[in-house]
Structure 1
Amino acid sequence: MSSHWTLKNKTALITGGTKGIGLATVKEFIELQAQVCVVARSEESLQQQISFWKQKGICVHGICADISLKCERDKIKKEIQNLWTHLDILINNVATNIRKDTCSYSDEEYQHIQETNLTSIWDLLRSLHPHLKQSSSSSIINVSSVASLKYIGSGIVYSMTKAALDQLTRYLSVEWAKDNIRVNSVLPWYTRTPLAKPVLDNPKRLQKILERTPLARIAEPEEVARTIAFLAMPASSYVTGTSICVDGGFSNVGLQ
């Protein structure tokens, strides 16, 4: 295998790595021979996954932390500093959503979505910047959403956080280029994950989604994970500040 298409010996921190797109990304990175550390809120699910990989002879590190809490994010920073001398790859994948009409959100719900989807990433990026800078060429991939570009009827607060995340991606790609840190984002459309399940289980909503998707199917988490892996590889060494839609063509649809 060409050295441009591997993650061999690269250190990678992946948040929300026990389900959905995060889990698929962990599996992809393991196959590409990266050293992986998984962050998950549930101790039970984290230990189950760690044990599963251990039985297969695969060493994966784990940190149990609720990324929406400042004290827990501080724990992640300390754990990574103890684990590795530098960090090559950071995948900001954790997100949450509450689907409501705009005027129905409580202040607490608004704050929780903001803290989980945006503030947590802002905080991790700044605290881990020195560790990323220690790498000769590091890569940050933020998992955004096509909700940052289009109305998809899935809650304004979620969409706001994802739009801000895309701008953060563009800004840091310029500011941190001097530190040999690339910053990109991927924008999935509806993907077969636990977060999307309530929507996909609604037959009318599913039909509407498929009608607006040129490829006429729902994405699998592995398809998003492969795009994330590409952005982490040396093969994408000249790609930064880019937001890649992984949406089956949805973002290109106008009137049909």
Structure 2
Amino acid sequence: MSDFREQRWSLKGMTALVTGGTKGIGYAVVEELAAFGAIVHTCSRNETELNQRIQEWKSKGLQVSGSVCDLKIRAQREKLMETVSSQFDGKLNILINNAGTFIPKETTEFTEEDFSTVMTTNFESAYHLSQLAHPLLKSAGNGNIIFISSVAGVIAIPMCSIYASSKGAMNQLTKNLACEWAKDKIRVNTVAPWVIRTPLLDTVEVQFY
């Protein structure tokens, strides 16, 4: 398997930013990219958890660094991308917009705060980070953006109208950016999982970023 990874799927020398990489899908993505040789930067609001994960990855010989960042805050997103640009010499090969949150409620029960939290975390942050990453991805000459969406963005699922809307918007954004940025040699794709056992499902409301 090691030889297969090296010869066919090596990402050696590639750089990647994965948002929300300390647990769930993001954690698995960080490990996979780093195992294939990529140099990965990730982020989380939880500094203690972030440091624990970085030490864990270092003990496995993986090249992973991280930043404490609340992706709901625009200034912190800008600071994150400044850090990534500095660390990777102004070039980025892979952006994984993974961070997200889910609040299960009936549509009539959602508050203004609920709407803002879900849409800012799931959609606005991904949109803004893609904007910020564009010059870095273009400079790399081989840029890739992957949005972690959901089947909820395609079909109707009870108790998640705002979450579904955020993912549907993400799906449409993927189509637009794929066309708009093809000239810059930036590929844009969406991965839309079904239900996966992650910390997001362990309580009524868990935010992983």
Tell me, yes or no, whether TM beats 0.5: yes
Q: Partner residue of 2:161?
A: 156
- Aligned equivalent of 1:242: none
Describe how 1:119-158 pairs up with structure 2 within 5 A: 119-158=124-163
Answer yes or no: is 1:187 the counterpart of 2:192: yes
The match for 1:71 among 64, 69, 75 is 75
Name the CA distance, whole Å, in 1 between partners of 2:74 and 2:118: 14
Matches within 5 A, 1:86-235: 86-198=91-203
Q: Distance in 1 between matches of 2:149 and 2:109?
A: 24
- CA 1:4 to 1:180, structure 2 compared with 1: closer, same or farther past 3 Å? farther
Q: Could you report, residue by residue, the CA deviation over 1:68-96 in whole angstroms, capped at 9, with x for unpaired residues?
A: 11111011111011101200000000000
| C-alpha deviation, 1:67, in angstroms | 0.7
- In the alignment of these two chains, the number of paired residues is 199
Pairing partner for 2:18 from 14, 35, 45: 14
161-170 or 77-86: bigger deviation:
77-86
Structure 1 residue 196 displacement after superposition: 2.1
Identity, in percent, stands at 42
Q: 1:58 aligns with which of 62, 76, 85?
A: 62
Q: Which residue in 2 is equivalent to 1:206?
A: none
Aligned-pair distance for 1:198? 4.0
| Distance (Å, rounded) in 2 between the aligned partners of 1:170 and 1:109 | 27
In structure 1, the gaps of 5 or more residues are 200-256
Query: Match of 2:207?
Result: none
Q: Unpaired runs of 5+ in structure 2?
A: 205-209
Look up the SS of the partner of 1:140 in the other structure.
strand
Shift of residue 161, structure 1, vs aligned partner: 0.3
Give, in angstroms, the shift of residue 152 of structure 1: 1.8
C-alpha separation between the residues in 2 aligned to 1:23 and 1:56? 14
Q: Which has the larger radius of gyration?
A: 1
Q: Shift of the alpha carbon at 1:97? A: 1.1
1:169-208 superposed Cα distances (whole Å, 9 cap, x missing partner): 0010000000000000000010010112348xxxxxxxxx
Match of 2:9 among 5, 9, 20: 5
Q: Aligned partners of 1:147, 1:89: CA distance in 2, in Å?
A: 25
Q: Tell me whether 134-143 or 52-61 shows the greater mean CA deviation.
A: 52-61
Matched residue of 1:184: which SS? strand
* Inter-partner Cα distance in structure 1 for 2:14 and 2:30: 13
Provide the TM-score with structure 2 as the length reference: 0.91
In angstroms, what is the RMSD of aligned CA positions?
Answer: 1.3
User: What is the alpha-carbon distance in structure 2 between the residues aligned to residue 189 and residue 106 of structure 1?
Assistant: 26
